[in-house]
Structure 1
């Protein structure tokens, strides 16, 4: 009975083994290949199973020493950025937190540092290419060191000078014909060397984004310019000298078709302007700032706008600003942070105080999150801090840095932060945190020109204020008990745009009235400062 049950169990196991795809091996092969990493399982003599089955162990995958460094998210909504220049090359040794490259992100340039210490093995992008956020952009061997072949690629081979010094050289005796032929060959070699174009490396020259923007405007390849600044940095003066040298070069043979040229700065006509001839169109690639503006404004088209305009009397604010600037000049409180107050800090503070009464204007519409998708309904996300973006005109184009937590700043603190952001924007050194997290925007286009405007609401915001040019107008005096008389007033127009999906006209009008009252009576604003 026991023997029959055992034989039946063995046969069932054998059928199961064959069903799983097991392969039998001859016993001789198993014994020949037996190793400490093999096991043999005895079977019953009643079964037809081979006398020995080998099952080998396998080791786990070894840990890779080469680490791909991923390009981290450096701003809200940024999915790619341009590699401006590399500070390393394959085979170079890097330490932790040492700079790897400089990238141009959403209107700001940032230096990317290394997370590991090791040897650079591969650069996934060349200078000038677009790198994807979250994808590898450099490989680093964290366990390796600079190998012999890497050193050979980095260090030029040494010439055997000692052998040349020890062995006396004896000039061969040549005929006059041979000397003449040799001189001709030398001249031809020099001409060929001069005619060979300069080979460009994959590493771009050092320069600020403003200088790069100037080089693109003047159609100059910045890698061909030798920088005179610190660490070989290319300056604006270097570009101007390069253009002057290029223009002073001897003119080449005239082409049959004229090429259109851009008018010089400050000129109202083109030097080649003519009324005759066909229309000529010259395609010009968008700059990095224009590309980001193109994408941002395209997304803003999905927001239904409505415009609300109001006229604000700046007369009292003009007087208060003049008194405060005189106090700053006498007491020396500016400390090189704020040399002179402008009207913009007062406007920003008035907007922040109005947001406390109407927090809807400081919110954002959430229609794409997981919670909104699950419920099928959009929501309004209220935000506690007033982070007011300020549109600035810079050499690189329109930039919108953000003044954070305006509710916790006074007028002097807002002015100091504006001065800091303005200096960074002009130099092209705004960091991603300086331009992220805005909740509402103020555009002071009146400092350039224009009385009325229709600003565009930025994505993730619901309102924007456009400030027009201040002008002097005659008005009737409104002092009670006095005769009507004509007085001089300083008037400015405020133009609001709001997201009509969540902001109605009455809410916008009430909030704009609060801002108007605070600007027209700035003493009330001073009383409520914290």
Structure 2
């Protein structure tokens, strides 16, 4: 008899130590090729590991709660052509379906051994728990206990919702009570999509009508009018296009942030005429010198460096509210996120310790992270820990906009397309390159005067980066 072969975790996009949230097979079970063996769930996706070939499971190497990376052994499977010659293990035989009681009499057919089984009287109870009352057999008789249908809520009134740790974290971030969410995945497990759908229903008024479980500073759900249901095909030809996974995730976050954070946006202009000239000259020097082929300096890198000085001068912008909304957590580090446009949607990679890096290093890291974002290879660590975010539309257009604060941050800077404008210098108008700035902030933490000072100082820094050294 040939030895069973290993079923391993295939390429899962570079994720490491991904938790096992479900084991879908057992020893002795026959599996088809590509049948799911286990379910893995990272912070970004749920992945099922398929069987590489058909056969019989001889050993399961993992359990729920274990972690796996690419190449990890999931199970030992004996190929189908070899397993066919082997007898069925006792465990598999025990799992064979038993005859069900007759729906009319409640009687259970006798076992093949001839053992007599008395009728089973089933009494319906108000809580819908079916409880069997069995006439005992005389001493020495063998009788299989009939199945009982139990209500999990009755036997475990304080049960923990069936969801992975990643989904629990996601629900906490959105302020969702998982006890109010109905799971649609296998076995009633609550998925990330279930949480997102619950939030959408809450925003549309559905959850509010049912008791409301979206936290909002001590209240129930958002009591909004239901979302309009329209048959658009009545008015002309239509095409349905499902949202990408990133759009679904970011959509729920944006809806939560917009609904729960009191946004105010402060607008200002920065004169970047000199800074742009410096950027162009430095890139030319790099092309002529030994650094030819190095990453080009971008205006975003200068903006992120200016943000470091502004956050250090005004530390309330480099802070977060705690879950209670009563304590402000001031951060001593400066990690800055930037919005990256990808084919699948908007993501926000984070450059860490910007206060310890020069403009060139920041430019290199933003370029590398943007490339990973476009290729869909960003890991959870690449998008966590941000203190302040920058959303730049300068390469596209526009004069101003209102970016949405990226909770748990308290502010975000929007940057629009720079343009040459006539600026009065006290004697005459001179053409200057002007960059529009749009700062959105959480009004619970930051008042209008502080925001105006912040944007004014930010504009001064971009007008003369020597101020960043002060």
TM-score bucket of the superposed structures, by smaller chain: 0.5 to 0.7
- Tell which has more relative contact order, 1 or 2 (C-alpha 8 A, sep 6+): 1
For 1:458, what is the secondary structure of its paired residue? coil
CA distance in 2, matches of 1:427, 1:486: 46
> Which one of the candidate residues 361, 375, 378 is aligned to 2:317?
361
Gaps of 5+ in 1: 1-90, 104-108, 159-275, 369-376, 479-483
Write the mapping of 1:267-306 to structure 2, written as runs, cut at 5 A. 278-300=235-257, 301-306=259-264
Q: Is the contact made by 2:403 and 2:413 (CA closer than 8 Å) also made in structure 1?
A: yes
For 1:441, what is the secondary structure of its paired residue? strand
CA distance in 1, matches of 2:326, 2:79: 61
> Which one of the candidate residues 271, 277, 286 is aligned to 1:328?
286
Q: Is the contact made by 1:320 and 1:522 (CA closer than 8 Å) also made in structure 2?
A: no
CA distance in 2, matches of 1:142, 1:396: 33
Q: Is the contact made by 2:62 and 2:75 (CA closer than 8 Å) also made in structure 1?
A: no
1:308-327 Cα offsets, whole Å, 9 max, x none, are: 00011111111111221122
The verdict on how the C-alpha distance between 1:145 and 1:489 changes in structure 2, with shifts beyond 3 A counting, is closer
Query: TM-score of the superposition, structure 2-length normalised?
Result: 0.55
2:386 counterpart residue number = 438
1:384 counterpart residue number = 332
CA distance in 2, matches of 1:113, 1:135: 10
> Which one of the candidate residues 478, 486, 495 is aligned to 2:429?
486
2:78 counterpart residue number = 151
For 1:285, what is the secondary structure of its paired residue? coil
1:477 counterpart residue number = 425
1:341 counterpart residue number = 297
Gaps of 5+ in 2: 50-58, 64-72, 86-232
**2:355 aligned with 1:407:** yes
Write the mapping of 1:303-314 to structure 2, written as runs, cut at 5 A. 303-314=261-272
The verdict on how the C-alpha distance between 1:430 and 1:396 changes in structure 2, with shifts beyond 3 A counting, is same
2:6 counterpart residue number = 93
What CA RMSD, in Å, does the superposition of the two structures yield over aligned residues?
3.7
2:438 counterpart residue number = 495
Write the mapping of 1:408-423 to structure 2, written as runs, cut at 5 A. 408-423=356-371
Q: Is the contact made by 1:100 and 1:112 (CA closer than 8 Å) also made in structure 2?
A: no
Q: Is the contact made by 1:307 and 1:497 (CA closer than 8 Å) also made in structure 2?
A: yes
CA distance in 2, matches of 1:291, 1:413: 33
CA distance in 2, matches of 1:111, 1:393: 25
The verdict on how the C-alpha distance between 1:316 and 1:155 changes in structure 2, with shifts beyond 3 A counting, is farther
Q: Is the contact made by 2:18 and 2:40 (CA closer than 8 Å) also made in structure 1?
A: no
For 2:409, what is the secondary structure of its paired residue? coil
1:229 counterpart residue number = none
2:450 counterpart residue number = 507
Shift of 1:279: 2.6
Write the mapping of 1:511-526 to structure 2, written as runs, cut at 5 A. 511-525=454-468
Q: Is the contact made by 1:101 and 1:113 (CA closer than 8 Å) also made in structure 2?
A: no
Q: Is the contact made by 1:406 and 1:414 (CA closer than 8 Å) also made in structure 2?
A: yes
CA distance in 1, matches of 2:38, 2:260: 32
For 1:447, what is the secondary structure of its paired residue? coil
2:197 counterpart residue number = none
1:393 counterpart residue number = 341
CA distance in 2, matches of 1:513, 1:466: 14
Q: Is the contact made by 1:99 and 1:111 (CA closer than 8 Å) also made in structure 2?
A: no
CA distance in 2, matches of 1:292, 1:447: 25
CA distance in 2, matches of 1:440, 1:471: 25
The verdict on how the C-alpha distance between 1:145 and 1:299 changes in structure 2, with shifts beyond 3 A counting, is closer
For 2:338, what is the secondary structure of its paired residue? strand
Shift of 1:281: 4.1
The verdict on how the C-alpha distance between 1:146 and 1:316 changes in structure 2, with shifts beyond 3 A counting, is closer
**2:403 aligned with 1:455:** yes
CA distance in 1, matches of 2:263, 2:276: 32
Q: Is the contact made by 2:261 and 2:442 (CA closer than 8 Å) also made in structure 1?
A: yes
Q: Is the contact made by 2:18 and 2:42 (CA closer than 8 Å) also made in structure 1?
A: no
> Which one of the candidate residues 373, 377, 381 is aligned to 1:425?
373
CA distance in 2, matches of 1:290, 1:128: 26
1:324-353 Cα offsets, whole Å, 9 max, x none, are: 11221222236x551x21111110110111
* Alignment length (residue pairs): 291
